[in-house]
Every structure is written in C-alpha cells, then in structure tokens.
C-alpha cells in the first residue's frame, strides 16, 4: 500500500469538485469514481483490463493474507461492470464488507499504475497529508533520511517525544511494532510510523556506532515546525536558509528571513538555500519562492498524457542580486527539484550535494463522494531548459557526498576564506551555523584526535581519502594557517584562514 511521506511530498495540490454519486451501486461508489478518474486522467493512459485485474488480484491477495478467505475471479474480468459484480459477490463472504473491499479494489487499481505518487486517502489520511505539507503533524519528533536503503534519523526535534528518549541522530529504524522496514519504500515506512495523537509504537533501532539493536517505546504527539529558518554565517556576510517544506507559509517565511538579513545593515555576499531532504509541497509555494529570486522568468513546463505542453511563469518578482548555492541530496524531491532546476537554468543558483530524488510529476487531489480523496498523477514537468527530472533527478554542479563537506564546498564557492568548524550537541558547526549531521566532525581514540576526511579534503583542497576519519595532527603540522582550539566544554574547534 502506498502512502505519502513528508520527505517525498508532491509538487501540486489542486482541489476540484466531487463527482456526483453513482446511483446504481452505492456500496462501491468510490471504486467506480476512482476507476473513471484514472482512466480519464492518469498520465500513463492505463487500459480498463489493467485496472480491473489489478483491483481483483490485490483484493484477492489481501483477503487470503488478512482474512484467510479465498476469493476467485477470472482473467477474463476486464470491465468496470465485471469488477463491481465480483465485489458484490465477495461482499457476501464471511468477514468481508464493502468498506474493506472498496479500499482494496482502489489500492489494487493504483498499484497497477506503478506510480507511488497516486494515492487513495481516507478522510483522516487526507487531513494528515495536508498537515504534513504545512509542517504540522502528529509524530514522534524525528526526521528521517533514506540512505542506501536504510531509514536513518537525520534530526531530532527539540521538546518532542524523540528528544526525551534515548534515540540519537544516526540511529537506523529497522522496525515498527512487529513490522520490518527492510525493503520498504519511504511512503510505506511513513504509513507504519504515523498514527493518532497519543498512540504508542515500539521502534526497533540499530545503532551502528555501538553495533547493537535496541527497542524504544514512544508516544505520538502533535508537532508544529517552521517551514523556513535562517541565520547569517560568521566571518563573511552570507545568509543561510533551511526550507523544510513547500507549504502555504513557506514563501512568506522565506521573505521574512531575507528581510531579516537586510535589516542587519550588512549587504549579503551570497546565500545558501538548504533543500536537503525537502520532499516538496505546493506548486504555488514553489512559484512564490522563485519570485524572491527572479523578477520574471519561466518556472517550468508541464505536459499531460496527451503531450500538451503548458508554461508556468514567475511574474512581478524581485531579483536577489547575489550568488546562490542550493544544497540538495537524494531526499530533495518534487517542488525542491522544480525550484532548484529553475533557478539553475536561469543562472541564479548552482547546486551542491548529491543527485536529487527524481520526482518530476505533478498530482491533483480529487475529493470523492463519500468524503475520501484520490491523489492522482496528471502531469510531468521539465525545467526551463527542458531538463527531464522524473525518474532521473538533478545532478549537482558540485558533487559532494558528506553533509558537512557540502556546506564547506558551498561556502568556498562563494569566496569564504576564514573558517571555524566544530561539534556542538551532536551538530557540526560551520562558521557559527549548526547543521544536523549523521556523523560528528571529530572523534578521539587511542590514536589521537581525528576529523572527517571529507570535510578536511574540501577545506584544504586535498585529494579524496578512502578513510572516513583521518588523524588531524599531520595536517596541523603541514598547514601553518590551520590550528586547533580546545573549548572550555571540552569540544574542539578547527580554525583555518585560506591564503
């Protein structure tokens, strides 16, 4: 079953009027509605037999697995009429009901599309989806990254249930209650992790640093987070803005952050926009945010299932007038890719990080007559230079794997010469700005103080090392402009001034 997640949210959210109720079979109205919407509008142009067989196979499989009920159907069942007759027949089976069969049939049709972004929402699921776009959600209080097939905690939200537990950044979530998350999609993992406010779950964690598994029981709570947060770097007047999602307040909060930078009286030399692990949101938010960077310009092209191309433009915006670097990674999807691709094509920004997710499709949320909703893929989008994003992703201008090294590379490309790097409360601090990273900057053992080799490589413009950490002492001896300070709290700070 497919579910949406905060990291992989879609670009477009349009609302349309609900279709009239089909009067002939009221118990399977939504199955019929979804069938017609998909047949008439889905980007892939599915055929009737594909949807019907997908629905019947999926429902039959789940009935066997969950209810131990055998449901028979024919490979010649190929019309919506055949599907409805089978559902009516199966409804009379012990343990089955119309609500369950409706959902199974709909999810089976959507499963046949091989499109993880076309999703059926119940009333409650739709509310959760809309809340997640607005960065309001019920959860445990951590953000995840899908890294090499593993679900890694990349950040823990202060004053959340996760913050009060023994969870740590870098922990891998391998199970929820009795469900393994191995080989699950982000959407599936999100579906197992979410739940009602106050409900509990038992999380199975693997902590690589200790090479052990542990179990943590957490209670879900309502959490509301800012969509955009910013800070000025020390040493050079360069702004940093982290955008978590493209919700309805995203553009306003971005505008306010830029205005706050202007009020300092120090003209910015550059801006870093962090879109790492930002799964997207509303098209209108992406367009409005783009208008903070350009006066006027093409945002994207979209094509529908018939190949009709439509242009979306930014109008009456403001030129940012300074160089921009956008941090991206495999969790940057949908609206993040749309904005990043557009600003790069207009030569406003360069991308730093790793290849983006590759979700270049746009969805519409369609209310159904019984209160549920269908999120359906209608369009594919392309950057202003017609770059394909869907299933491909955007390749950065500066390809950098390590989280902290991405920040260093972005700042270097903006002309930063003076550096102050350290660890603080599990974060890596670069010129006064803290970044949640999976791995600490420093570690100390019997060999001595070591530093993340990727960070040092980019800082000193060295050849890449195969080692994850390297001893710092030889580099301190070799580079006169490199020094180390030990703070009162026992942490270390690396200082460097480039010639």
Residues serving a catalytic function are 334, 345, 359
Start-end of H helices in 92-219: 98-111, 123-133, 186-193
- Adjacent-strand bridge partners of 376: 364
Listed in order, strand segments (DSSP E) in 417-486 are: 418-424, 427-430, 433-436, 442-445, 448-452, 469-471, 482-486
CA atoms 6, 9, 15, 18: torsion sign: negative
Cα torsion 169, 278, 285, 38: sign: negative
Helices (H), 181-308: 186-193, 250-263, 283-290
Cβ burial, residue 469 (10 Å; 0-12/13-18/19+): buried
CA atoms within 13 A on the CB side of 132: 27
Sheet holding 349-353, edge to edge: 228-232, 238-243, 270-274, 324-328, 349-353, 398-399
Alpha carbon 255 to chain centroid distance?
A: 22
HEC string of 66-108 equals: HHCCCCCCCCCCCCHHHHHHHHHHHHCCCCCCHHHHHHHHHHH
Name the helix (H) or strand (E) containing 410.
Answer: helix 403-413
End-to-end CA distance of the chain: 56
For residue 422, give the nearest of 373, 485, 474, 347 by alpha carbon. Answer: 485
Q: If you ran DSSP here, which 8-state letter would residue 247 be given?
A: -
Q: Which of 423, 413, 405, 416 is nearest to 462 (CA)?
A: 405
The answer to whether 289 touches 339, Cβ cutoff 8 Å, is: yes
> With contact defined as beta carbons under 8 Å apart, do 314 and 326 qualify?
no
265: Cα separation from own chain's centroid: 35
Residue 223 tokens read as 């959490």
Report the candidate in 323, 334, 320, 234 with the shortest Cα–Cα distance to residue 272.
Answer: 323
């Amino acid at each position: 079953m497919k579910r949406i997640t905060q990291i992989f949210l879609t670009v477009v959210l349009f609302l349309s009027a609900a279709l009239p109720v089909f009067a002939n079979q009221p118990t399977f109205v939504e199955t019929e509605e979804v069938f017609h919407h998909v047949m008439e509008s889905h980007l892939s142009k599915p055929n009737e037999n594909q949807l019907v067989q997908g629905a019947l196979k999926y429902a039959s499989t789940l009935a066997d697995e969950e209810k131990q009920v055998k449901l028979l159907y024919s490979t010649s069942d190929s019309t919506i009429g055949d599907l409805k007759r089978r559902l009516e027949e199966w409804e009379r089976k012990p343990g089955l009901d119309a609500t369950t069969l409706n959902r199974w049939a709909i999810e089976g049709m959507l499963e046949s599309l091989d499109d993880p972004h076309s999703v059926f929402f119940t009333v409650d699921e739709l509310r959760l989806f809309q809340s997640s776009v607005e960065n309001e959600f019920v959860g445990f209080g951590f953000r995840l990254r899908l890294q090499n097939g593993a679900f890694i905690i990349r950040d823990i939200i202060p004053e959340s249930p996760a913050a009060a537990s023994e969870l740590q950044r870098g922990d891998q979530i391998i199970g929820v209650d009795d469900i393994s998350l191995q080989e699950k999609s982000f959407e599936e993992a999100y579906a197992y992790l979410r739940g009602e406010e106050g409900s509990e779950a038992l999380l199975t964690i693997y902590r690589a640093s200790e090479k052990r598994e542990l179990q943590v029981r957490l209670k879900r709570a309502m959490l509301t987070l800012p969509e955009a947060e910013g800070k000025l770097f020390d040493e050079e007047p360069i702004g940093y803005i982290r955008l978590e999602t493209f919700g309805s307040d995203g553009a306003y909060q971005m505008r306010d952050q830029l205005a706050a930078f202007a009020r300092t009286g120090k003209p910015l030399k550059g801006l870093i926009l962090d879109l790492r692990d930002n799964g997207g949101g509303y098209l209108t938010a992406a367009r409005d945010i783009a208008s903070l960077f350009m006066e006027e310009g093409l945002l994207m092209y979209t094509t529908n299932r018939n190949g009709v191309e439509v242009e979306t433009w930014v109008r009456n915006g403001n030129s940012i007038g300074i160089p921009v670097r956008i941090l991206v990674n495999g969790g940057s999807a949908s609206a993040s890719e749309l904005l990043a691709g557009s600003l790069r094509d207009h030569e406003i920004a360069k991308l730093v990080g790793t290849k983006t997710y590759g979700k270049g499709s746009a969805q519409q949320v369609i209310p159904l007559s019984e209160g549920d909703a269908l999120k359906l893929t209608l369009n594919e989008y392309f950057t202003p230079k017609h770059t394909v994003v869907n299933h491909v992703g955007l390749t950065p201008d500066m390809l950098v794997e390590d989280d902290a090294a991405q920040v260093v590379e972005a700042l270097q490309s903006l002309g930063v010469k003076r550096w102050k790097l350290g660890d603080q409360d599990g974060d890596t601090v670069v010129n006064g700005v803290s970044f949640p990273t999976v791995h600490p900057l420093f570690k100390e053992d019997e060999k001595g103080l070591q530093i993340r080799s990727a960070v040092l490589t980019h800082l000193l413009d060295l050849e890449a090392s195969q080692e994850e950490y390297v001893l710092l002492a030889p580099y301190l001896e070799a580079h006169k402009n490199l020094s180390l300070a030990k703070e009162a709290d026992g942490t270390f700070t690396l200082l460097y001034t480039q010639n």
